[in-house]
Amino acid sequence: MKKYSILITFLFIIAGSVFNAKAQDKLTENKDIISLIEKKRAYNKHNGSGYRIQLYNGLERRARSLRNRFKIEYPDVYTKLTYKAPEWKIQVGNYKTRLHADRALNEIREKFSGAIVVPM
């Protein structure tokens, strides 16, 4: 009798897990959710999203000097020098998430103390 009750309990557990797995499959088939995800991906590609690390914001001579120093220290990292009146900005890297940018910032701050994370 004890074996019979254990067998029935085991069958109920298996049946419950199968029904639960099938119920979860139906959630991903919603066309509205898929459409929203596609729109969000298209928006991100067009408008850009992510973060950069800003090393300096100020005079041109100092900006160019810091940019050259950064290129020597980190030759594989993308650098961008821009001018928005009246100041020059040096931004480095292309990071998808704030977490990745913060990790890189910790390393860069050892040599460039004024660095901050900014959105693209």
Domain definitions of the chain by residue range? 47-117
DSSP E strand boundaries for the chain: 51-58, 79-84, 87-95, 116-119
For 26-75, the pLDDT digits (tens) are 555 688 888 888 888 887 777 767 899 999 999 999 999 999 999 999 99
**CATH number for region 47-117:** 3.30.70.1070
Question: 82-95 burial, b for 16+ CB within 10 Å, e for fewer?
Answer: eeeeeebbbbbbeb
DSSP E strand boundaries for 68-120: 79-84, 87-95, 116-119
The C-alpha atoms of residue 100 and residue 85 are separated, in whole angstroms, by 30
pTM above 0.85, yes or no: no
